Structure 1
Amino acid sequence: METARQTGGCQCGAVRYRALGELGYPHICHCRMCQKAAGNYFLPLAAAKREHFELTRGEPKWFRSSDIVRRGFCGDCGTPLFYDIPEADFINIALGTLDEPDAVKPVMQSNTVRKMSWFHALDGLPVEPEPETPDREEAIAASNNQHPDQDTSHWPLGETHDG
């Protein structure tokens, strides 16, 4: 049986990571701290055993959001990456930073007292039509600075690094 392997990183590619084994307790946290840390209405997280987790490129910046928790993010592009309790034997990964985020389905929600009261109505919102011309998408694709959803030997792709 093959060991599960998850890779991921920030939007600009300055920080990349790898986790071996299944990610534990994939969940969506609705607490106010997670909302602020993610700049969103919730933060999906899952735990990687620290012994099976490694940074493969760069180092995150850390913000101590409480006496117990620090949050890791990319100092270059600002992507929220980790929810870390340094004394624990695991580190929580922000699931949106996985190269294959659809591979890890949340099994629980937490801190729902702060959950947006209107979430139940999201599927009823109108959907924007697809653009009639692909000009905007082509312009974005031609100037895309986002790291691809896979490990690269260096980034940006046009640069090379010694060592």
Structure 2
Amino acid sequence: MSAAIHTGGCQCGAVRYRAEGEIGFPHLCHCRMCQKAAGNYFMPLGGVMHENFKLTRGEPAWFRSSETVRRGFCEKCGTPLFYDGSSDHMSITLGSLDDPQSVKPELQTNLAHKMSWFGELDHLQHDNAMDITEEQEKTVSASSNQHPDHDTEVWPPGNRHAEGQS
């Protein structure tokens, strides 16, 4: 049986990584630092042992958010990618995985900062008129500068067709 291989990276493709094996402790962190770092209400994280983690393109920029934690992000597009807490593993943001559906969070941490209204989200009204149409999605896709959800040999693509993109 072969070990799971997870790849991922930032939105623009300047920083890419590879993680082999299980992504441990997949969780949603609600602490205020993670909220600020993600620009969101929580940050989904999971850990991979340092020896099973490798950058495959580019180098992240780092911000030391506390004495014991540094956070890696893409300097070009700002995508939050890593949480390095000076331990035996590197935490990766689960949304930066090429297949984020492959790792399901198993728990939550720092609930004192969790939004009190999260339990109501499934009951929010859905406005179908605001959903992107197939035609709009094609238009956005044709001009998108977002890196595809797979490794590419070249970044940025000088010739979009050479990368199999249309």
Q: TM-score range by the shorter chain?
A: over 0.9
Query: Identity across aligned pairs (percent)?
Result: 61
CA displacement at 1:85 relative to structure 2: 1.8
Hey, what's the Cα distance between the residues in 2 that align with 1:28 and 1:46? 9
Using structure 1 for the length normalisation, give the TM-score. 0.93
Give the match's secondary structure for 1:18.
Answer: strand
Alignment of 1:26-105 (within 5 A): 26-86=26-86, 88-105=87-104
CA displacement at 1:56 relative to structure 2: 0.1
Partners of 2:14 and 2:156 within 8 A in 1 = no
CA displacement at 1:127 relative to structure 2: 1.2
The two structures, once aligned, show a CA RMSD in angstroms of 1.6
Unaligned runs of 5+ in 1: none
Structure 2 residue 115 is the aligned partner of structure 1 residue 120: no
- Higher helix proportion, which one? 2
Hey, what's the Cα distance between the residues in 2 that align with 1:37 and 1:126? 28
Which 4+ runs in 1 deviate beyond 6 A? Answer: none
Partners of 2:7 and 2:151 within 8 A in 1 = yes
How many residues in Structure 1 have an aligned counterpart in Structure 2?
A: 159
Unaligned runs of 5+ in 2: none
Give the match's secondary structure for 1:12.
Answer: coil
Mark the CA change 1:133 to 1:21 in structure 2 (over 3 Å): closer, same or farther. closer
Hey, what's the Cα distance between the residues in 2 that align with 1:91 and 1:132? 35
